[in-house]
Chain A
Amino acid sequence: MALTGVEIFKLLPKTNCKKCGHPTCLAFAMKLAQRQASLDACPDVSEEAKRILGEASAPPIRPITLGAGDKAVKMGEETVLFRHEKKFVNPCAFAVEVKDSMSDDEINKVVDEVLNSEIDRVGQKLRIDAIFVSNASNDAGKFESVVKGIASKAPAVPLIISTNNPAAAEAALKNIADKKPLLYGADESNAEAMANVAKAYKASLGVTARGLDALSALTEKIKGLGVEDIVLDSGARSAKEMLEANTFIRRAAIKKNFKALGYPVITFVQRDDKMLESLVATLGVTKYSSIVVLSSIEKWKNLALFTLRQNIYTDPQVPMQVEQKIYKIGEPTPESPLTITTNFSLTYFIVSGEIENSKVPCRLAVMDCEGLSVLTAWAAGKFTASKIAQFIQESGIENEIKHKELIIPGYVAILSGAIEDKLPGWKVTVGPREANGLPAFLRSKV
């Protein structure tokens, strides 16, 4: 738990020497508490104070990276329980399970699906992040060759190696030690051997125990054995158990600064019913999982889960923006109406939704106003006659359409004359104030 300014002050030299650039030790302590200063600025601080402050300032959930290179996934570092308080930091990773007992063809098919899973949505590239390879065959040699095969076919994709047999773990890891994999499967019976393998191959270690009591004891033990990058499996498999375990883990880490559970969580949602699997994955995304292991990655399922993850992990304090451009809704002809609005994502979604409702094919010009809504953007001087005129001229839309009529939002009716002055030959029409007036308005135009 973060220390208060006064608690930090008690640990400082209290000499008010100003060498840190602050007038007093108390002022420096206050800045430290707000994380606006670094303890390194104080030349006289004791080792004891460094240790206490260092522990207190460590993130409540340990940051861990899965994989290496471009496609590595960062996990942990979360600071809140609810996304409206502060942005959720590291979006959870989706992994698909491959069993080493599957045929080569089956395995290759899944690996291909992973490699082709990338989708671009609202400017972000989204994909299945990792492959979870399990030693279902119980054969170390088989496991080694399957892992090796996957690593050569998909060298950039992070791997999770699942086995509770330290010998099989070692066989699999020795070929991929440079890839920062996650070794999953340490439990009370094999903790020492698994910790040694993880250490030897610089893998992070997934630990599992029934119940959070046993799990905390196990993570302490494994930390004592020298492995610090730990991922938690509470053993929860039903949605009910998962919600309870994930809630307790997140609360314990963030509200109680309980270090033994201050690690990312891996969640298993595999179900025969793929639709239900999507919903249990929804629980993982919304409620605190850092890795969600799926049984299959159909494109329709991926799209829904990627979109959900994107929604939940957006920064609630930064308005979501859509790209500035002229969007086609339906199949507009050169005669179809042209409307304009701002690029606040919610504005865009509501306006484009209502245009879709109208069934009138349309062009919607979305102008970059730094993610502000129409009225706010207008008030802030970002949605003005001259900027609108410039956007329309530079968009090249004049070559695409046969008319020169621009429909503006009713709330900025006042701009119509000024836009006409700046866009010679254009007619500006004032549309409805609220988007829900658009269907009737557009239908009356055609």
Chain B
Amino acid sequence: MAFAAPKETFSGKVFEVIIGTDKTAVFGGENVLSFHAFEGNVPHRPVIAYEVQDIVPDDWPETVKKVYDSVSGDPVTWAKYCQDTLNAKAIALRLLSTHPDRENRSPEDAAKTVKDVLAAINVPLIILGSNHAEKDSSVLVAVSEAAKDKNCIIGKAQEGNYKTIAAAAMANNHKLIAMSELDINLSKQLNILITQMGFDKEKLITDPMCSALGYGLEYTYSVMERIRLAALTQNDATMQPPMLADVGMYVWKIKETQASDAELPLWGSLAERGITWEAVTAASLLMSGAELLIMRHPEAVKAVEKFIDELM
């Protein structure tokens, strides 16, 4: 029996998203599963953004914190370091200082930080709140305005706060991350609610919620695969935005990235273990459909870029 390559083509396609104004970045646009260029069109590589915070990352494990020791006191210096020294294709600025349990800084303060960072870099900027639903709705409105027309990604809009955030992103010409918690139906519903406000579905990025390797990764993995299959096989426009994996923040808080070699000799060298953990988490979510990644450790980013080189 002769072999015939069982190629599959689909009616649906992932929306292509362009971010930034000076140096831009583009992701999405494929009409096949991840890296399946052998049977369709994969026009862009996934984009990896470096995470920067507006607060000294005291709670990051040493392996990754020390990389930024000389720059992490100031988000502008930190962002420039990522762009100029690490060749970041995009920066993800997390406004953690605005969280009521952290420094509870005001939306105006956050807006100033965003303006300063934007003035210092020319790569695209992703602006993230502190994941405090209520506070984010005021912070993300203020920063959307501060970044008007800079074609940023604003995030994350969730069920409890999407209205104000989506309205602000829309009014100021930004893309928007819609995040729900590990459930394809919730994800679809949130995308529908946001588009019903008049937000352009082609400016959305779906975040089905990340999980670290060993800490629920399989849930994120399968939700992503299901979303992508719905986008391609059912041509479901509410499932066609590209997907985000916010990898760094989930990986660099678990035991595997913190416990010393002495404490757990069976786990091997801590430095390599932490970096591998971030890289393997990212690589598996690339396989399940993520096009935009937010990561922390430069060595992990480098490894994932090499992996993408081999896949493209």
Contact = CB atoms under 8 A, between A and B. Distances in A.
Interface of A: 82-84, 119, 121, 212-213, 215-217, 220, 238-240, 243-244, 247-248, 251-252, 255-256, 258-261, 273, 275-276, 278-280, 282-283, 285-287, 298-305, 307-308, 310-312, 314, 316, 320, 345-346, 349-350, 353, 356-357, 359, 436, 439-440, 443
Contacts of A251: 6, 8
Interface string B273-309: 1011101100110011000000000011001101100
Nearest to B267: A303
A370 to B, nearest CB: 18
Nearest to A237: B310
A128 B122 CA distance: 46
B101 to A, nearest CB: 5
Nearest to B37: A240
A278 B221 contact: no
Contacts of A310: 214
Contacts of A258: 1, 3, 6
B126 interface: no
Sorting the interface of chain B by its residue count into under 10, 10 to 19, 20 to 34 or 35 or more gives 35 or more
**B interface majority secondary structure:** helix
Interface string B201-223: 00000000001011111110110
Contacts of B213: 304, 307-308, 311
A208 to B, nearest CB: 15
Q: With a 10 A CB-CB cut-off, give which of A247, A285, A346 has the most chain B CB atoms.
A: A247
Given A308-B213, A346-B219, A82 B229 contact: yes
A301 B303 CA distance: 13
Contact of A216 (B1, B222, B273, B279): B1
B1 A311 contact: no
Given A251-B8, A282-B287, A286-B287, A83 B310 contact: no
Contact of A212 (B5, B37, B277): B5
B71 interface: no
B253 interface: yes
A87 B298 CA distance: 35
A318 to B, nearest CB: 12
Given A240-B311, A240-B312, A349-B216, A252 B3 contact: yes
Nearest to A307: B214
Contacts of A278: 276, 279-280, 303
A247 B33 CA distance: 11
A320 B276 CA distance: 24
Contact of B279 (A238, A248, A279, A311): A279
A349 B255 CA distance: 11
Contacts of B219: 346
B310 A239 contact: yes
B256 interface: yes
Interface of B: 1-3, 5-6, 8, 35-38, 59, 100-101, 131, 182, 211, 213-219, 221-222, 225-226, 229, 250, 253-256, 266-270, 272-273, 275-277, 279-280, 283-284, 287-288, 299-300, 303-304, 306-307, 310-312
Contacts of B304: 279
A258 B37 CA distance: 23
15 contacts: A121-B214, A256-B6, A258-B1, A279-B279, A279-B303, A282-B307, A298-B272, A308-B213, A311-B213, A312-B218, A314-B218, A346-B219, A349-B216, A357-B253, A440-B100
Nearest to A119: B266
Given A279-B304, A280-B310, A84 B277 contact: no
Nearest to B5: A248
B194 to A, nearest CB: 22
Contact of B307 (A247, A252, A276, A286): A276
A304 B276 contact: yes
Contacts of A312: 218, 221, 284
A239 B217 CA distance: 21
B5 A298 contact: no
A345 B182 CA distance: 14
Q: With a 10 A CB-CB cut-off, give which of A121, A276, A357 has the most chain B CB atoms.
A: A276
**A interface majority secondary structure:** helix
Given A299-B267, A312-B284, 15 more contacts: A82-B226, A83-B218, A83-B221, A83-B222, A84-B226, A239-B310, A240-B310, A251-B8, A279-B279, A280-B310, A299-B269, A300-B273, A350-B216, A353-B250, A353-B254
Contact of B256 (A285, A303, A350): A303
Contact of B269 (A83, A285, A300): A300
Contact of A213 (B3, B254, B270, B287): B3
Nearest to A310: B214
Q: With a 10 A CB-CB cut-off, give which of A273, A305, A311, A357 has the most chain B CB atoms.
A: A311
A100 to B, nearest CB: 27
B215 A353 contact: yes
Q: With a 10 A CB-CB cut-off, give which of A260, A261, A275, A283 has the most chain B CB atoms.
A: A275
Contacts of B266: 119, 299, 303
A84 B182 CA distance: 13
Contact of A275 (B215, B267, B299): B299
A308 B217 contact: yes
Given A252-B3, A311-B218, A305 B280 contact: yes
Pairs A-B, 4 closest by C-beta atoms: A299-B268, A300-B268, A300-B273, A239-B310
Contacts of B100: 440
A261 B280 CA distance: 29
A337 B213 CA distance: 28
Contact of B2 (A213, A247, A439): A213
A326 B141 CA distance: 43
A345 B248 CA distance: 21
B269 A298 contact: yes
Given A258-B1, A304-B213, A84 B225 contact: yes
B38 A244 contact: yes
A305 to B, nearest CB: 7
Contacts of B5: 212, 248
A55 to B, nearest CB: 13
B57 to A, nearest CB: 13
Nearest to B299: A275
